Amino acid sequence: MSTDEIICNCMEVYKSEIVEAIKSKGLKTVEEVGEATDAGTGCGGCQDDIQEILDQVNGK
């Protein structure tokens, strides 16, 4: 995946924004990413992708 791939089409949130938010704020859940970036707060279809990014960044 390239770092500036769009993850959430509804809210136009890029992967790089999500990764930054997770790292800078220590986010742990899809809900927290939604609050921080709006990603996943539209149709919800990208929430699995957000979870994958959380797992990658948090090393699970």
For tokens 């919800």, name the residue: 44
Q: Which is nearer to ligand FES, 40 or 59 (CB)?
A: 40
What is the rounded CA–CA span in Å between residue 8 and residue 36?
Answer: 13
Q: Residues interacting with ligand FES, by CB under 6 A?
A: 8-11, 39-46
For the bound state, the minimum distance from the C-beta of residue 40 to ligand FES, rounded and expressed in Å, comes to: 5
For the bound state, the minimum distance from the C-beta of residue 50 to ligand FES, rounded and expressed in Å, comes to: 8
What is the rounded CA–CA span in Å between residue 35 and residue 3?
Answer: 21
Residue type, 25: K
For the bound state, the minimum distance from the C-beta of residue 49 to ligand FES, rounded and expressed in Å, comes to: 8
